[in-house]
Amino acid sequence: MTLLSGALKINSGELVDTIHQTAEKFGAKNRWGPEPTQTGVRRLALSDYDKEVKDWFIQQAKSLGCKVIVDEVGNIFATFPGKNRDAKPTGMGSHLDTQPTGGRYDGIFGVLSGLQVLRTLKANDYVPNYPITLVDWCNEEGARFPMSLMSSSVWAGISTKEHVYGLKDVYDNKTTVLEELNRIGYKGSVESSHVANPLNCHFEIHIEQGPILEMMGKRIGVLTSAQAFRWLDVTFKGMPQHTGTTPLEYRRDALLATAKVITGINEIGKKHHGVASVGMMSLSPNVVNVIPGEVSFVVDIRHHTDEGLHKIYTDVRALIDEITLNKAGNGIPLEVEIGDPYPIPTTVFHTDLVDLIEECAYSVVGEENTHRMVSGAGHDSCATGSVIPTAMIFVPSKNGISHNPEEYTKPDELEAGFRVLLETILRYDQERVE
Amino acid sequence: MTLLSGALKINSGELVDTIHQTAEKFGAKNRWGPEPTQTGVRRLALSDYDKEVKDWFIQQAKSLGCKVIVDEVGNIFATFPGKNRDAKPTGMGSHLDTQPTGGRYDGIFGVLSGLQVLRTLKANDYVPNYPITLVDWCNEEGARFPMSLMSSSVWAGISTKEHVYGLKDVYDNKTTVLEELNRIGYKGSVESSHVANPLNCHFEIHIEQGPILEMMGKRIGVLTSAQAFRWLDVTFKGMPQHTGTTPLEYRRDALLATAKVITGINEIGKKHHGVASVGMMSLSPNVVNVIPGEVSFVVDIRHHTDEGLHKIYTDVRALIDEITLNKAGNGIPLEVEIGDPYPIPTTVFHTDLVDLIEECAYSVVGEENTHRMVSGAGHDSCATGSVIPTAMIFVPSKNGISHNPEEYTKPDELEAGFRVLLETILRYDQERVE
């Protein structure tokens, strides 16, 4: 198949340059090597750096002739005009926020690849048939405000603005999303809704964040689905007592109970061929010679099927109940509080769009370098996928490392991914006409 | 046996009033009931509150005619004059610092009981045969600067001033002991040494911090020894990776390894009839959907014999080695760093002093209310006991609760303990002459 993008002049290297320039300007952190580009990025959602990169993004989009709107939960929609001005735009997007110890690619690569698509159209005076909207979804990571896919979920109607406005900064347990949206000037006036502010579809390109493409020697992953996941907020309450004077049989040790959960869920994850682990924990009073009286932690469970997730979930709940009642503190029951606010089911991507991406990938990098796969992580496309046709493209991650300063994808792999996205957007725009 | 203290006028209630007044002035925190006295105390070593209570203590001691000296690691020695002016003083002491979530009694009760002994002598114009020195040992808790019995250990020659000067505040990982001693004006000029600044013996009264006296219906514990303990600082280093995209078999999960240690050492503690647990932990990056790449924690092991402690220690080290090499991260080795800076062996208290306390307890509260026992916790007397004759008195702790705002001992139990201490000091002073 002939490449539609083959007719366009492409500014090779501009995308990679933009990735590094914005990383350096907006939150470069955690050096891991001697090269200027060898740092990670710390750009927490709704922080000053997030505001600055949003400002920069809007300025870039406007310079390309885009109309920019910000919705009431901080999502930015930059729309490049098409011939058919009143049609729903073709959508693409990802997120510009990072984890506290994040790298330069996760999310950012997706938004900047979209920007590179628009830059390429503009540079070639290419007018698409339909408008093309590039979205920076707000707070995908859920690292500072603990809800991943936060604002894409509101747009998709999975969550509400009232819920997310009240979320509190995990670092001070005080500052809310609403306060920070107001502070940085990104509480827009447009309703956050896929009905009021629609897209015709959503394409997202992202780094894999896992080791599969690299291990298989593939260049492009074509995603058929994203695995289901669920987060359980658990707090065990025991009794803070002196470690020296309290015999083991009289203890109500909230950390021992937590440790039993962490080891137990690992076995449960294995048993059901999914994953289950804990990444975040806080303990009180957190003193050497005091038994922890209270421990809060978040259980992260994932499976490529909803049924598998449910099996893991059921076993994890049973384990927590058993530990709460019988096992922790060596026989003395603890108190427990459990919240599981937003289970995300398996997202099955739209068959037509998956096939379209695959065709484009075959054309750009060859069938032998293309691999159909399931996303291990959640992405904004999991939210959009619940309401509009959605599909995703992956590029390899070196050593499968992500959410880490050393996250890395080679320039030619980034470029190849961008070209698949560009071709996909052009063909989608073409096929809507034909 | 006739009570020597029976001839003295004793101001009943003054001790308990002083406990509550100083709690309220210097760090009252964490209300747990409606009464004015129902809060805990947060008075971290070398904090502003610690400085203020030290200032108050010195002023009190001076008003009783004591000579006060401060040594180079913040220990305060208040010496009440005796007839035999040049003899080594009879010593008593404890500490005025608390845990971050401490109560009103731990340590404080010991220093203020000593103060009450001196107040009673002064009020009765009683001149002892030998000087009597009351000591406020600096940073017994090791909560803010992570070394328990810090300055009594320097005085006893177990540790050095150079070592403790460099200890860092666990809350900011920056501020040192030396900086804080200088800041609050408690880096004294006197050498911290049991040779240069000697005591003839050391008596300490303390709350039990465990449930035994209460469960047995006893009022006074006569300590024969204090159990050995050892703290191991452990850091596991794995790899922070995305929880969704990294299959379990490729993970190097430092928190999973830690959880296996916590559950494993609990079994080891049980097996050897001692205790082993973790109270303090920090994890990085501590984010919901990132596998913890680094976890640091402190293992606290204790046993009433040195042999038992060594068995626990050996098993704990073997467990950590096994988890590091084979088990954590599902088969992939982690890196580990282990430090165990200051093992404290079993302290066997001085037989003559133990017998003396027991006689005094029989006289004050009756044999039926007195119980010989082993201390579960470490105390400044464990440091002094390594160089001079030392013994301890316990009073009951309600529900065995300590290192907790709800720590409580009834006024009449506190008063009975003080009277045993007073009688002990008087008889010791008498018996040195006879």
pLDDT digits (tens, 9 = 90+) for A31-58: 999 999 999 999 999 999 999 999 999 9
DSSP string, B81-117: --SSTTSPPEEEEE-----TTB-SSTTHHHHHHHHHH
Indicate which CATH number applies to the domain containing A263.
3.30.70.360
Closest chain B CA to residue A142: B288
Counting Cα atoms < 13 Å in the Cβ hemisphere of B135 gives 31
Contacts with B42 (C-beta within 8 Å, 6 or more apart), sequence order: B27, B29, B30, B49, B98, B99, B100, B101, B102
Are B218 and B245 in a shared domain? Answer: no
pLDDT(A434) > 80:
no
Note whether A241 contacts B401, CB cutoff 8 Å.
yes
Q: Which of A251-255, B42-46, B241-245 has the highest mean pLDDT?
A: B42-46
pLDDT(A170) > 80:
yes
Task: Among A280-289, B159-168, B244-253, name the one with the lowest average pLDDT.
Answer: B244-253
Give the pLDDT confidence score for residue B413 in this predicted structure. 98
Give the pLDDT confidence score for residue B331 in this predicted structure. 56
Q: What is the mean pLDDT of residues B233-251?
A: 88
Are A223 and A303 in a shared domain? Answer: no
Asked if the C-beta of B296 comes within 8 angstroms of chain A's C-beta atoms, the answer is no
Are B350 and B283 in a shared domain? Answer: no
Are B389 and B242 in a shared domain? Answer: no
Give the pLDDT confidence score for residue A242 in this predicted structure. 87
Is A210 or B203 the better-scoring residue by pLDDT? Answer: B203
Of B148, B242, B400, the CB nearest to A246: B400
pLDDT(A431) > 80:
yes
Are B359 and B313 in a shared domain? Answer: no
Is B266 or B329 the better-scoring residue by pLDDT? Answer: B266
Give the pLDDT confidence score for residue A288 in this predicted structure. 87
Are B85 and B205 in a shared domain? Answer: yes
pLDDT digits (tens, 9 = 90+) for A82-120: 999 999 999 999 999 999 999 999 999 999 999 999 999
Give the pLDDT confidence score for residue B211 in this predicted structure. 86
Closest chain A CA to residue B275: A248
Shortest distance, CA A262 to any CA of chain B (angstroms): 6
- Boundary residue ending a domain (B313, B339, B365): B339
Give the pLDDT confidence score for residue B154 in this predicted structure. 98
Which residues on B lie below 8 Å from A277 (Cβ)?
A: 243, 251, 253, 255-256, 291
Tell me the helix, strand and coil percentages in chain A, rounded to 5.
40, 20, 40
Complex prediction ipTM: 0.77
pLDDT(A331) > 80:
no
Note whether B243 contacts A277, CB cutoff 8 Å.
yes
Are B314 and B371 in a shared domain? Answer: no
Are A28 and A117 in a shared domain? Answer: yes
Mutation site, A288, A291, A301, A409, interface B, largest B CB count within 10 A: A288
- Boundary residue ending a domain (B339, B372, B406): B339
Give the pLDDT confidence score for residue A109 in this predicted structure. 98
Of B243, B286, B376, the CB nearest to A275: B243
Note whether B279 contacts A231, CB cutoff 8 Å.
no
> Cis bond leading into B285, ω under 30°?
yes
Name the residue with tokens 């939960």.
A73
Tokens of A384: 């959009």
Q: Can you give the residue range of the structural domain that contains A326?
A: 228-339
Are A293 and A405 in a shared domain? Answer: no
Indicate which CATH number applies to the domain containing A181.
3.40.630.10
What percent of chain A is predicted at pLDDT more than 90? 86
Specify the number of domains making up chain A.
Answer: 2
Tokens of A12: 């090779």
Which residues on B lie below 8 Å from A231 (Cβ)?
A: 288
Give the span between the Cα atoms of A36 and A24, in whole angstroms.
9
- Boundary residue ending a domain (B339, B356, B386): B339
Are A251 and A169 in a shared domain? Answer: no
Q: What is the mean pLDDT of residues B233-258?
A: 90
Give the pLDDT confidence score for residue B95 in this predicted structure. 98
Are A260 and A376 in a shared domain? Answer: no
- DSSP tally for chain A: helices H, then strands E: 12, 15
Counting Cα atoms < 13 Å in the Cβ hemisphere of A311 gives 15
Asked if the C-beta of B387 comes within 8 angstroms of chain A's C-beta atoms, the answer is no
Name residue B147's beta-bridge partners. Answer: none
Give the span between the Cα atoms of B319 and A271, in whole angstroms.
25
Q: What is the mean pLDDT of chain B?
A: 94
pLDDT(A179) > 90:
yes
Are B100 and B195 in a shared domain? Answer: yes
Closest chain B CA to residue A377: B244
Asked if the C-beta of A302 comes within 8 angstroms of chain B's C-beta atoms, the answer is yes
pLDDT(B327) > 70:
no
Give the pLDDT confidence score for residue B399 in this predicted structure. 87
